[in-house]
Amino acid sequence: MSIKRTKYLIRCRLYFVLVTMLCACLSIDASAEYGDVVLNQMSEANDMRPVIYPHWFHRIRFRCKVCHNELGFIMRTGANEIDMGKISDGQYCGLCHNGDIAWGVENCDLCHSGKPGLQTGIRGGNQTGGPGQW
């Protein structure tokens, strides 16, 4: 076998491995990272994957008061009774995630992306349950 042919086969195998790995990564459910908020009080009970809310992604764009005062999010883990009806009515996430400002509720998998079984809470190194519980 020629050297050109051998190099070609090695490149093909390498591309195959890379494409296979990429496909495998894209099909994996998300797990929460540091600072993410997992919402699973109602999700799995309604046959949906848990919501992973990327807190710091939003925090670098908005001041705390935008969500915690103007949108009504209580700053304590598990204290917000958020459901799709409220979001569809423009409450909580639905004020921005309305299809005009940010994607709408018809894109379920963009929010409901957590691995089944994730518990509601904030992911991080500290016990961040809200004011007075730092």
Three-class DSSP category at 113 = coil
Classify residue 64: in a domain, yes or no. Answer: yes
The predicted-structure confidence for 26-40, as pLDDT tens digits, reads as follows 445 566 677 888 999
- Based on the fold, state whether residues 41 and 91 are members of the same structural domain: yes
User: Could you tell me the pLDDT band of residue 123, with boundaries at 50, 70 and 90?
Assistant: confident
Residue ranges making up the domain that contains 3 = 1-29
In this prediction the pTM is 0.67
- Based on the fold, state whether residues 71 and 87 are members of the same structural domain: yes
- Based on the fold, state whether residues 13 and 64 are members of the same structural domain: no
Which CATH number characterizes residue 114's domain? 3.90.10.10
The Cβ-side half-sphere exposure at 32, using a 13 Å CA radius, reads: 26
- Domain total of the chain: 2
Of the chain, the end-to-end C-alpha distance in Å amounts to: 66
The predicted-structure confidence for 85-106, as pLDDT tens digits, reads as follows 999 999 999 999 999 999 999 9
Question: Are 127 and 77 contacting, i.e. CB atoms less than 8 angstroms apart?
Answer: no
| Residue-level pLDDT at 30 | 61
